[in-house]
Amino acid sequence: MESPAFCPVQPSRHIVERQSRMLNFRVEYRQRSIEVVLEEASTVGDIKTILETELQVPVSKMQLKGWKSGDVSDSTVLRSLHLPKNNSLYVLTPDIAPLASTSQSSAQQGLSNQNYLLVISHREAQRDYSLNFPASKTIQEITLAASGISYPCHHLTVCRRSSPALTVDQTDECTDVHMVSDSEGDDFEDAPEFGVDESEIFGMGSSSCRKSPMMPENSENEGDALLHFTAEFSRRYGDCHPVFYIGSLEAASQEAFYGKARDRKLLAIYLHNDESVLSNVFCSQMMCADSIVSYLSQNFITWAWDVTKEANKARLLTMCTRHFGSVVAQTIRTYKTDQFPLLLIVMGKRTSNEVLNVIQGNTTVDELMMRLMGAMEIFSAQQQEDIKDEDEREARETVKREQDEAYRLSLEADRKKREAQEREEAEQVRQERIKKEQEEEREAIRLSLEQALPPEPNEEGGEPISKLRIRTPSGEFLERLFLGSCKLQVLFDFVASKGYPSDEFKLLTTFPRKNITQLDPAWSLVEAKLFPQETLFLEAKE
C-alpha cells in the first residue's frame, strides 16, 4: 500500500472558522490502493486532483464511485455528504485502456507484420514439426502477436486429450517451452502428419493435460466441489481472490436473498471454463484485482462452478432451472466456450429471482467494476424499498402484538375479576348456608328448651313464688313466674328459649350489679336471692 496522500484545504471565508474534521479515503484503482486524507471542508474535486497526481490519470477521464448519497459533482463539499471518518471509493477509467495493453501495444504493432515459427513436439510420435504462421493469425480471438509467445520461434508440445483428438498445451505436465534465438526447419502451413488441422492447434484450451481440474467431475457433494475449486483457484492465481461461498447454490441463494432486508446482498455466480482462452486472463487480472475482490466481498455473496466438464455443466443447468427458472439455464446454454468465463449477477425479489447482468470474460477491470456498481445501484434502490416495507410491516406487527397483548391482558383481568366475583358469591352462599344451618340449629335447641321448661306456677298454689322481670337488649321485657325452689338452670333455659343463650349473653342484676350466669346452675332462686321478685337485664358477651 502506498503512503497516504494528504492535502489540507483552506476553508472558504463564508464558512465559520472552526476545527474541521479529517476524513480518510481508501481509493482502489485497478491493482493500486491510494490512501487520501482530507478535511471535510474539501470538495470531491480536491480528491480527484490528488488522485491525478498519484495515478497519472486526467481528472476529465476519471470517474469516482462508491458514494452512498445520490448525485455527486466535483464541486460537492464533503461535509454536505455526512460521511463517516473512514470511506472506500473506486476510480473507474472506461476511456483509458489497461496499462498492460498500452505498454505492449507498440511492441505488438512491431511484430504484427512478422512471421512466427512454431516448433511442435509430437510426444507420442517422438517427432518435431515446424510451422510458419503470420503474426496476424489468431488463437481463436487472440493474434499471435498479442498472445505473448516467444518471437521469432516458440516451442510447444502436443499431447493427446482424453478423447482421440490431439491438443497443444503449455502446462507443467506436458510442456517443453523455452526461448531460442533462431530455429531451422521445414516451413509448412498444413500439418497432415499431425492428424489435426490448424484450427485445432490454435484452439488449444487451458484445461488439457492439467494435473488437477478446477472441479472434480460428478462430485456428489457441492460443498466438497467448491472446496476443491477454491483450493485450485488459489493454487493457480494466488490467495487474493473473492471468497467463494462453500455450499450449494440453494444455500448461497438463501444467504444472499432471505435474511433481513438490511442484510441482503447480490449473488454473483462465477462460471469457469478451462477450454476458453479468456479464463486465465479474466481470473488473474479481473477476479484477483484488489478493487474487484474488495467490492465483491462487501456487496456480494460469490458462488462459483466449473462447467469445463459436460457432467458438471449439466448439473449446473439443473440447479439454475430449479432456482432461477428455465430462462436462465437456456441463457447459459447459448454462450459458447470462447465467451466464458461468465459472471452472473442475480438479485432476489419478492416473487422470483432476477438475473440483472451477465458479464462475459472479454472485459476490463474498469468495465467489470462499472457493471458491478450498476447492478448495485439497482439493488440498492430495491433494497431501500424492501427495508421501508419491512420496517412498516414490523411496525404494523409491533402494533398488532401490542394490541393482542393488551387484549390478552384485558381478557386475563376480566377472567380474574370474574373468578374473584364467583369466589365471592360462592363464599357468600356458603356463609349464608352456614348461617342458616346455625339458625336452624339454634331454633331447634330453642324449641327443645321451650318444650322442656316446667309449666309456669300458679300464684294461688301456696308454694313460694318468685316473679322475675328480664329486660332484653332491644328494650323489651320478659316476665315469668318461677317456683322459689326452681334451679337457676331453669331460668337460663327460659332465657335461651327466648333466643338469648347463655354462651352469648349474660344475665345481670340491677343493683348491686351481679352476673347471675356465673353462679352455680344448681342453686335455687331463693339461694341466688332472686326471691320473691327481681328485675334482671340481658347483656351480650364481648
pLDDT band at 172 (very low <50, low <70, confident <90, very high): very low
pLDDT band at 105 (very low <50, low <70, confident <90, very high): very low
For residue 183, the model assigns a pLDDT of: 41
Q: Which of 14-28, 77-91, 105-119, 405-419 has the lowest mean pLDDT?
A: 105-119
| pLDDT of residue 165 exceeding 70 | no
> d(Cα 308, Cα 310) in Å, to the nearest integer?
6
> d(Cα 31, Cα 225) in Å, to the nearest integer?
29
For residue 427, the model assigns a pLDDT of: 95
Are residues 139 and 28 both part of a single domain?
A: no
Can you read off the three cell numbers belonging to residue 108?
505488438
The pLDDT of 396-417, averaged and rounded, is 94
Are residues 367 and 228 both part of a single domain?
A: yes
For residue 213, the model assigns a pLDDT of: 86
Are residues 283 and 345 both part of a single domain?
A: yes
pLDDT band at 414 (very low <50, low <70, confident <90, very high): very high
Examine residue 46 and state whether it is found in any structural domain, yes or no. yes
For residue 149, the model assigns a pLDDT of: 67
For residue 91, the model assigns a pLDDT of: 85
The answer to whether 477 touches 483, Cβ cutoff 8 Å, is: no
Which one-letter DSSP state was computed for residue 43? B
Are residues 350 and 228 both part of a single domain?
A: yes
Tell me, what amino acid is at 452? Answer: A
For residue 304, the model assigns a pLDDT of: 94
| Residue 292: partners with Cβ closer than 8 Å, 6 or more residues away | 242, 286, 365, 368, 369, 372
For residue 476, the model assigns a pLDDT of: 92
Q: How far is CA 129 from CA 115, 164, 202, 381, in A?
A: 16, 20, 15, 60
| pLDDT of residue 425 exceeding 80 | yes
E-assigned strands of 93-152?
Answer: 115-122, 127-134, 138-139, 142-143
Examine residue 198 and state whether it is found in any structural domain, yes or no. no
The pLDDT of 465-490, averaged and rounded, is 92
pLDDT band at 482 (very low <50, low <70, confident <90, very high): very high
| pLDDT of residue 373 exceeding 50 | yes
The answer to whether 304 touches 331, Cβ cutoff 8 Å, is: no
Whether cis (ω within 30° of 0) applies to the bond prior to 98 is: no
pLDDT band at 169 (very low <50, low <70, confident <90, very high): very low
The pLDDT of 178-182, averaged and rounded, is 40
Give the DSSP H/E element, type plus range, for residue 105: helix 99-111
Examine residue 351 and state whether it is found in any structural domain, yes or no. yes
Can you read off the three cell numbers belonging to residue 1?
500500500
Closest CA to 331 of 290, 302, 360: 360
Mean pLDDT of the chain: 79
For residue 429, the model assigns a pLDDT of: 95
Q: Which of 9-23, 429-443, 479-493 has the lowest mean pLDDT?
A: 9-23
Examine residue 161 and state whether it is found in any structural domain, yes or no. no
The pLDDT of 105-128, averaged and rounded, is 59
Closest CA to 364 of 421, 437, 297, 287: 287
| Residue 56: partners with Cβ closer than 8 Å, 6 or more residues away | none
Q: Give the domain extent around 366.
A: 222-388
Q: Which of 204-213, 227-236, 323-332 has the lowest mean pLDDT?
A: 204-213
Q: Which of 88-102, 300-314, 406-420 has the lowest mean pLDDT?
A: 88-102
Tens of pLDDT, residues 440-476: 988 898 899 889 899 988 887 778 899 999 999 999 9
Sheet arrangement for strand 342-348: 300-306, 266-272, 342-348, 353-359
pLDDT band at 324 (very low <50, low <70, confident <90, very high): confident
Are residues 237 and 382 both part of a single domain?
A: yes
pLDDT band at 61 (very low <50, low <70, confident <90, very high): confident
Closest CA to 74 of 46, 101, 94, 95: 46
Please report, for the domain that includes residue 343, its CATH number.
3.40.30.10
303 exposure class (CB count in 10 Å sphere: 0-12, 13-18, 19+): buried
Greater pLDDT, 474 or 125: 474
Sheet arrangement for strand 22-29: 5-6, 32-39, 22-29, 86-92, 63-65
Are residues 135 and 261 both part of a single domain?
A: no
Task: Please state the pTM of the whole predicted model.
Answer: 0.51
For residue 54, the model assigns a pLDDT of: 86
Greater pLDDT, 240 or 99: 240
| pLDDT of residue 13 exceeding 70 | no
| pLDDT of residue 99 exceeding 70 | no
The pLDDT of 134-160, averaged and rounded, is 59
The answer to whether 335 touches 275, Cβ cutoff 8 Å, is: no
| pLDDT of residue 52 exceeding 70 | yes
| pLDDT of residue 417 exceeding 80 | yes
Are residues 377 and 240 both part of a single domain?
A: yes
The pLDDT of 226-235, averaged and rounded, is 92
The answer to whether 511 touches 445, Cβ cutoff 8 Å, is: no
> d(Cα 450, Cα 493) in Å, to the nearest integer?
8
C-alpha 396: how far from its chain's center?
Answer: 20
Are residues 284 and 349 both part of a single domain?
A: yes
> d(Cα 116, Cα 131) in Å, to the nearest integer?
8
Strand partners, 133: 116
Are residues 250 and 363 both part of a single domain?
A: yes
Strands 138-139, 142-143: pairing is antiparallel
For residue 80, the model assigns a pLDDT of: 85
Are residues 33 and 126 both part of a single domain?
A: no
pLDDT band at 130 (very low <50, low <70, confident <90, very high): low
Strand partners, 117: 132, 153
pLDDT band at 101 (very low <50, low <70, confident <90, very high): very low
Are residues 57 and 134 both part of a single domain?
A: no
| pLDDT of residue 7 exceeding 70 | no
Examine residue 459 and state whether it is found in any structural domain, yes or no. no
| Residue 375: partners with Cβ closer than 8 Å, 6 or more residues away | 266, 345, 347, 356, 357
Are residues 376 and 485 both part of a single domain?
A: no
472 exposure class (CB count in 10 Å sphere: 0-12, 13-18, 19+): middle
| pLDDT of residue 203 exceeding 80 | no
| pLDDT of residue 491 exceeding 70 | yes
Please report, for the domain that includes residue 85, its CATH number.
3.10.20.90
For residue 199, the model assigns a pLDDT of: 41
Q: Collapsing DSSP states into helix, strand and coil, what is residue 178? A: coil
Tens of pLDDT, residues 275-321: 988 999 999 888 999 889 999 999 999 999 999 988 889 888 988 88
Examine residue 394 and state whether it is found in any structural domain, yes or no. no
**Helices in 15-87 by DSSP H: which ranges?**
44-55
For residue 162, the model assigns a pLDDT of: 45
| Residue that is last in its domain, among 388, 406, 421 | 388
Q: How many domains does the chain have?
A: 4
Greater pLDDT, 206 or 324: 324
| Residue that is last in its domain, among 369, 388, 407 | 388
Examine residue 343 and state whether it is found in any structural domain, yes or no. yes
